[in-house]
Amino acid sequence: MGQLLHTLPKGEPVCGVTLLAGEIYLLREKVRDQVEVYDVTTYSLQRRLTVPDARNFIDMTSCEHNRCVYVGADYAERVHRLDVQGAVTQWDVIDLPEGLSVNAAHNVLVTCAWVRKIKEFSSHGDLLRELTLPDDVIHPRHAIQTRSGQFIVSHGGFGDPFHRVCMISADGRHIVHSHGGHWGSDTDHYNGPAHLAVDDNESVFVADHGNRRVTLLSPTLEYVGQVVSPDQLKWGHPSSLYLDTQRRHLYVAVDEWDEEKRDYTAGRVAVFSV
């Protein structure tokens, strides 16, 4: 079980969290100053950044090689690139983006849920390829490419027949391994598996959104254990993850659901030692 180290301040709902150059980048759903940047050691706020002409954020990821962060927004179906010098560019995805990651080639993987595709872009938005996932991978939420070229994909939302984490072949056509099945709350089931993180051994961390926990799977997607429990996420539901593999710190974005408003109204990031 992970140990809670720190929580970043409560504010607007959190859409993504990542690390770049020794700083924590936190994306919030608001009109201005959407990106908050914190020191990775002291957790003190360093600055705030605005993503121009963007709203309805869905995810954030980073690339140390290109020294930039990427922000996905389903409004206008775009990815925005913010480099550490402050320059902002953007490109069109065409389809609604759902999740972002960066692979070993330093390219951006955009998961598009409604068309069941993974689109691979260069750092400046050139479309390199797109893969269509198997028919029963319905509503893919997030995808990470392993060193061997295979993809770890989470999928399943409200009303979908399967809520799973799958290992997909490098060509996107076949399910190699999977964990989960129909909706459920026991150790072999999920309720909306959302964001993923993978460590240096290719073990997989899964944000189980509806069950308010983070699950750890082996590199072949066998159940290992629960690293963050519902009791440790008393504020709400985990929406996204980032794993600092050097420090073994897991950053979990947690959003609060307001039943009366039927919406997420606040969020924060909890830092766990794993």
Tell me the pLDDT tens digit for each residue of 184-243.
Answer: 999 999 999 999 999 999 999 999 999 999 999 999 999 999 999 999 999 999 999 999
The answer to whether the CB of 111 falls within 8 A of the CB of 142 is: yes
The answer to whether the CB of 98 falls within 8 A of the CB of 145 is: no
Domain count, the chain: 1
How far apart CA 66 and CA 83 sit, in angstroms, is 8
Can you tell me the mean pLDDT for 154-183? 96
How far apart CA 123 and CA 127 sit, in angstroms, is 10
The answer to whether the CB of 181 falls within 8 A of the CB of 163 is: yes
Domain boundaries, position 90 = 3-273
CATH for 97: 2.120.10.30
Can you give the pTM of this predicted structure? 0.96
How far apart CA 234 and CA 262 sit, in angstroms, is 18
Q: pLDDT of 30-48, one tens digit each?
A: 989 999 999 999 999 999 9
Task: Tally Cβ neighbours within 10 Å of residue 105.
Answer: 11
Can you tell me the mean pLDDT for 172-191? 96
